[in-house]
Amino acid sequence: MHDTGMACLFHKLGRFALERSCVVERSGERKEEDWHREGHRRKPCLLAPRKKGCSLFRRPPCGGSATSGCALAAPFGVSSIMGLLRTFVVGNLFALGAYQLVDMLRPDDKGAESWLLFDGVCNLCDGFSHFVADHDALRRVKFGAQQTHMDILERIGAPTDLSTLVLVQGNAHYTHSAAALRTMALLDWPWAVLSVGIIVPSPIRDMVYRLVARHRYQIFGKAEECRVPSGDFRTRFIDYNPAAEAQPDPISGMAK
């Protein structure tokens, strides 16, 4: 008997809470009749009492009060379907545009190598090169420390003051934000989509790039000397020589 009484009490409390949540709040001088005249649709609370004519898909007749248990709700109708359709179309157009933009940022010669020259003692640059290597399954990008490839920088006319990344693609080279974003375009999906930042005007992009580059040592730190790559990452470097790797060690008689 006690359990039955408690069940009834909880049922009444739950019903009261749902009825209160279904009541339309009045604000200022706006009356309940205004909601009906403006054509807002309503749906009933499942546990609240409903007046005749109030259904899930029909608006109650004008003159119904807020105590009828009908709450303001948007119907799932033509407008909702059109909204979903617009979202679907816009999303697909954005994806198509991003794909086309990424493809434009990649070199025309799909077999051409891309050399990314970075500051070998900068922790930020080193982290970026590892990120690129980890998300470049096709191994499009090769790496090199600028400190050991100054001859390349001088030959192509790129800065030699370690102030910027340098991306070399065939006869063209890119610096600052363009180098970073064009490198991102070479990565696997979905990481390649980050290169759409190229649509930002270059003066703004390069201003932010130079600001970060100017303070990169203070924020991210630096190494005393260029790090020596190891493992598979070593094979991604410009000066990697697989033949030298297989030469036997004259002391131990084993390959290095």
| Beta carbons within 8 Å of 17's beta carbon, 6+ residues apart | none
**Higher model confidence: residue 142 or residue 5?**
142
pLDDT, tens digit (0-9, with 9 covering 90-100), for 232-250: 888 899 887 777 665 555 5
Continuous H helices in the chain: 2-21, 32-37, 78-105, 123-134, 150-156, 176-184, 202-214, 216-220, 231-234, 242-245
- The yes-or-no verdict on residue 148 having pLDDT over 60 is yes
**Out of 24-33, 141-150, 202-211, which region has the weakest mean confidence (pLDDT)?**
24-33
- Determine the pLDDT at residue 123: 92
pLDDT tier at 37, thresholds 50, 70, 90 = low
3-state secondary structure of 193: helix
pTM > 0.95: no
pLDDT, tens digit (0-9, with 9 covering 90-100), for 81-102: 777 777 877 777 767 767 777 7
- The yes-or-no verdict on residue 115 having pLDDT over 90 is yes
- Determine the pLDDT at residue 26: 47
Residues 216, 218, 224, 230, CA torsion sign? negative
Q: Which two tokens stand for residue 55?
A: 């259904």
Q: Which of 172, 173, 168, 185 is nearest to 132 (CA)?
A: 185
- Determine the pLDDT at residue 215: 94
Q: Which of 193, 174, 169, 191 is nearest to 106 (CA)?
A: 169
- The yes-or-no verdict on residue 217 having pLDDT over 70 is yes
